[in-house]
Amino acid sequence: MPTYRRNGFALLASILLPVLAAAQTPPASPSQAEGRYMVQFRQAGAADAAAIRAAGGTPVHQFPDLSVIAARLPAAALAALRANPNVVAIEEDPRRYPSAQTVPYGITMVQAREVGDTSAGNRKVCVIDSGYYMAHADLQGANVTASPNSGTGDPYVDRCGHGTHVAGTIAALNNSEGVVGVVGNGALQLHIVKVFGDSCSWTYSSDLIAAATACEGANANVINMSLGGGVRSRFEEQKFDALYRAGVLSVAAAGNGGNTQHHYPASYSSVISVAAIDSGKNHASFSQRTSQVELAAPGVGVLSTVPWVGASVTVDGATYLAAGIEGAAQTAGTTGPLVDGGLCTSSGRWSGAVVLCERGSISFSEKVQNVQAGGGAAAVIYNNVSGGFAGTLGSGNSSAIPAISVSREDGLILLGSTGTSATVVNSTAEGSGYEAWDGTSMATPHVAAVAALIWSHNPGWTNAMIREALQNTAEDLGPAGRDTSFGFGLIRAKAALDYLSGSTPPPPPPSDPIALQGRGYKVKGVQKVDLSWTGSSAADIDVRRNGASLTTVPNTGSHTDTIGKGGGSYTYQVCEAGTTVCSNTVTITF
Ligand SMILES: [Ca+2]
Ligand SMILES: [Ca+2]
């Protein structure tokens, strides 16, 4: 009779875009009464600056090689200089903006920016997920390894995006673009194991065991598992227990069911279970509440890297991240003058324009159709309440023009730029994009990366020391003390590092090279215990029960103890015969 049970593991992110951040906010406009211009004269000379001043302007820069003077000019001065026969040309001094990088709120909230990362290269985080989009402009190419393709496709291709989003939270680069991760210097070692293929759905528990074994083989210190399933596996638990004993810190998502059920591997004692909170440190309603929840981290509206271009609108050199309206046309870049369409409840004369529409009154589909009917090249719908939103044209609907949504905050900024050129992008093509996602999947990498970051300050610290420090320094949230929603609370990198600072590395762990496992069962009322062990090459093994030697057997790696009828609790240990080299203890209770 087959006893196979499909032990499915789902990715733990809802692919939603509820919170969208402005990549950049342009500086406030200067007074319109006076503008910055560059004035070119026929000949460079001291008389040029005098001419500017005589007209009522104020020189700012002089470029003799160009015969140009940059100056602040009131309208009257501008008119006077235009009439000056010595002036060749006048050009408005256009604005230039710094390339901007957004620091996602979660990175700040977990104190990642308060802890030095110069030694991050001595730690390795293994990411078991859907792959890693190696070509992303904001992700490191160095210090990354991957387990070979085992049927899920190239590990450096991620058509699902989940693994790339998780990796961005861990290690997006601290540069002039996009976002930044917990460790932004590109030094942290990453090992990628791709268990989710392009279908992005589920994998088997045994695939996860194999992946964890691959992490172990790659000498990972921390394993990130933004995944889980509701069915426990004894063998999987044994694997993570063994990894913990071997010094690996495993971190997994508590689950997105919004219920009180345990999710695995998060709910094994040897794995840290991570709950999700929002930017206000409130418990995310989807985040599962269990006795195993250990730490909380940001998991709502987490902005990170995705392997597709995505949606945005760029005006005056500033790019605002957006969300594509479902069903609308794709575009790699549609440019037109930005106009205010109000609520877009009717069509205007919008030929070639990028039309701003406020959300409300009519459906998104009707707004986009009105923009299209008015000749508009693209529609940008901004929210009528704070934050962003994910919109759709409705089932089966489409539009010939691209349409995207932005937050109310960004919409109001854009309203101040009407008349200038705007470029709308809405593309699922492969590329370096960013999206804000929800999920305990998004919370988990904050914890894995913070653990690696603080651990890098002293590789002599043990996984247990790191775990204890994270627990004892978490910011208590919700009911006082550990609770099922937040565990010990919000993870805090700086506090944990301070807690550990001054700690000296402990002596090497007690000689415990033999790993013992036991399983108890009854046959017609007779208690039996199957023992199995690894890690010893001795010829003979002494089996001990409740502290006393029971028998000495050849080292076959296993032994069955038959106790007789009845019940009780029995503690086992095995030692190399005639030595004090012993295993851990295992207690079996009937
Ligand atoms: Ca960046
Ligand atoms: Ca609490």
Residues in Cβ contact with 233 at an 8 Å cutoff, skipping those fewer than 6 apart:
7, 205, 264
Q: Find the 498 Cα to ligand 2 centroid distance in Å.
A: 21
Lowest pLDDT segment from 79-83, 199-203, 242-246, 355-359: 199-203
What is the rounded CA–CA span in Å between residue 423 and residue 355? Answer: 11
pLDDT single digits (tens) 533-580:
998 888 999 999 998 899 999 999 999 999 988 888 899 999 999 888
What is residue 30's predicted lDDT score, i.e. its pLDDT?
35
Q: Find the 281 Cα to ligand 2 centroid distance in Å.
A: 12
Kind plus residue range of the DSSP H or E element containing 71: strand 68-74
Lowest pLDDT segment from 26-40, 94-108, 471-485: 26-40
Q: Find the 118 Cα to ligand 1 centroid distance in Å.
A: 17
Ligand in nearest proximity to the CA of 186: 1
Beta strands in 75-201 (DSSP E): 87-92, 124-129, 144-146, 189-194
Neighbours of ion ligand 1 (CB under 5 A): 101, 138, 173, 175, 178, 180
Q: Find the 174 Cα to ligand 1 centroid distance in Å.
A: 5
pLDDT single digits (tens) 408-424:
888 999 999 999 999 99
Ligand in nearest proximity to the CA of 486: 2
Sheet containing 526-534: which strands, arranged edge to edge? 515-523, 526-534, 558-565
For residue 156, which of 165, 169, 168, 147 has the smallest C-alpha distance? 147
What is the rounded CA–CA span in Å between residue 145 and residue 133? Answer: 12
Ligand in nearest proximity to the CA of 295: 2
Q: What are phi and psi of 8, to 5 degrees?
A: -85, 145
Residue that is written with structure tokens 């959300």 in the block = 359
Q: Find the 278 Cα to ligand 2 centroid distance in Å.
A: 15
For residue 418, which of 313, 314, 315, 311 has the smallest C-alpha distance? 315
pLDDT single digits (tens) 453-489:
999 999 999 999 999 999 999 999 999 999 999 999 9
Are the C-beta atoms of 482 and 286 separated by less than 8 Å?
no
Q: Find the 12 Cα to ligand 2 centroid distance in Å.
A: 23
Q: Find the 292 Cα to ligand 1 centroid distance in Å.
A: 34
What is residue 150's predicted lDDT score, i.e. its pLDDT?
82
For residue 22, which of 270, 383, 379, 281 has the smallest C-alpha distance? 383
Ligand in nearest proximity to the CA of 289: 2
Q: What are phi and psi of 414, to 5 degrees?
A: -65, -35
Q: How many CA atoms lie within 13 A of 296 on its CB side?
A: 30
Q: Find the 489 Cα to ligand 2 centroid distance in Å.
A: 6
Q: Find the 376 Cα to ligand 2 centroid distance in Å.
A: 52
pLDDT at 200 over 90: no
What is the rounded CA–CA span in Å between residue 32 and residue 71? Answer: 14
Structure confidence at residue 511 as a pLDDT band (50, 70, 90): low
Question: What single-letter amino acid sits at 400?
Answer: A
What is the rounded CA–CA span in Å between residue 515 and residue 518? Answer: 10
pLDDT at 505 over 70: no
Structure confidence at residue 510 as a pLDDT band (50, 70, 90): low
Q: Find the 480 Cα to ligand 2 centroid distance in Å.
A: 5
Q: Find the 522 Cα to ligand 1 centroid distance in Å.
A: 59
Sign of the four-CA dihedral 353, 358, 362, 363: positive
Q: What are phi and psi of 233, to 5 degrees?
A: -130, 120
pLDDT at 22 over 70: no
Read off the pLDDT of each residue in 380-400 and give the average, rounded to a whole number: 88
What is the rounded CA–CA span in Å between residue 328 and residue 218? Answer: 44
Structure confidence at residue 231 as a pLDDT band (50, 70, 90): very high
Q: Find the 470 Cα to ligand 2 centroid distance in Å.
A: 14
For residue 58, which of 70, 67, 41, 68 has the smallest C-alpha distance? 70
Structure confidence at residue 163 as a pLDDT band (50, 70, 90): very high
Instruction: Indicate the average pLDDT of the chain.
Output: 89
Q: Find the 178 Cα to ligand 1 centroid distance in Å.
A: 4
Residue that is written with structure tokens 């939270």 in the block = 169
pLDDT at 387 over 80: no
Q: Find the 11 Cα to ligand 2 centroid distance in Å.
A: 27
Q: Find the 44 Cα to ligand 1 centroid distance in Å.
A: 43
For residue 492, which of 509, 476, 478 has the smallest C-alpha distance? 476
What is residue 409's predicted lDDT score, i.e. its pLDDT?
85
Q: Find the 331 Cα to ligand 2 centroid distance in Å.
A: 47
What is the rounded CA–CA span in Å between residue 443 and residue 437? Answer: 10
Ligand in nearest proximity to the CA of 480: 2
Q: Find the 291 Cα to ligand 2 centroid distance in Å.
A: 12
Q: What is the DSSP annotation of 534-546?
A: ES---SEEEEEET
Q: Which residue has the higher pLDDT, 150 or 516?
A: 516
Question: Angle, nearest 10°, between helix axes 440-455 and 493-500?
Answer: 30
Structure confidence at residue 32 as a pLDDT band (50, 70, 90): very low
By DSSP bridging, strand 202-203 and strand 9-11 are antiparallel
Asked whether the whole model's pTM tops 0.85, one would answer no
pLDDT at 590 over 90: no
Residue that is written with structure tokens 């001291």 in the block = 46
By DSSP bridging, strand 68-74 and strand 515-523 are unpaired
Paired tokens of 325: 């309206």
Q: Find the 172 Cα to ligand 1 centroid distance in Å.
A: 6
What b/e readout covers 364-386, taking b as 16+ CB neighbours within 10 angstroms? Answer: bbebbbbbbebbbbbbbbbbeee
For residue 276, which of 267, 288, 265 has the smallest C-alpha distance? 288
Q: Find the 236 Cα to ligand 2 centroid distance in Å.
A: 29
Residue that is written with structure tokens 């009464």 in the block = 33
Residue that is written with structure tokens 């003799």 in the block = 64
Structure confidence at residue 34 as a pLDDT band (50, 70, 90): confident
Kind plus residue range of the DSSP H or E element containing 37: strand 34-41
DSSP state of 405: E
What b/e readout covers 410-436, taking b as 16+ CB neighbours within 10 angstroms? Answer: bbebbeebbeeebbbbbbeeebbbbbb
Ligand in nearest proximity to the CA of 475: 2
Ligand in nearest proximity to the CA of 281: 2
Three-state secondary structure call for residue 198: coil
Q: Find the 475 Cα to ligand 2 centroid distance in Å.
A: 8
Query: CA-CA distances (angstroms) from residue 587 to 518, 520, 557, 559, 573?
Result: 8, 9, 18, 15, 9
Q: Find the 169 Cα to ligand 1 centroid distance in Å.
A: 11
Q: How many CA atoms lie within 13 A of 482 on its CB side?
A: 14
Question: What single-letter amino acid sits at 419?
Answer: G
What is the rounded CA–CA span in Å between residue 163 and residue 307? Answer: 10
What is residue 559's predicted lDDT score, i.e. its pLDDT?
95
What Rg do the C-alpha atoms of the chain give, in angstroms?
31
Structure confidence at residue 386 as a pLDDT band (50, 70, 90): confident
For residue 87, which of 100, 74, 95, 78 has the smallest C-alpha distance? 78
Ligand in nearest proximity to the CA of 485: 2
Structure confidence at residue 319 as a pLDDT band (50, 70, 90): confident
What is residue 27's predicted lDDT score, i.e. its pLDDT?
33
Q: Find the 386 Cα to ligand 1 centroid distance in Å.
A: 25
Read off the pLDDT of each residue in 339-346 and give the average, rounded to a whole number: 97
What is the rounded CA–CA span in Å between residue 467 and residue 477? Answer: 18
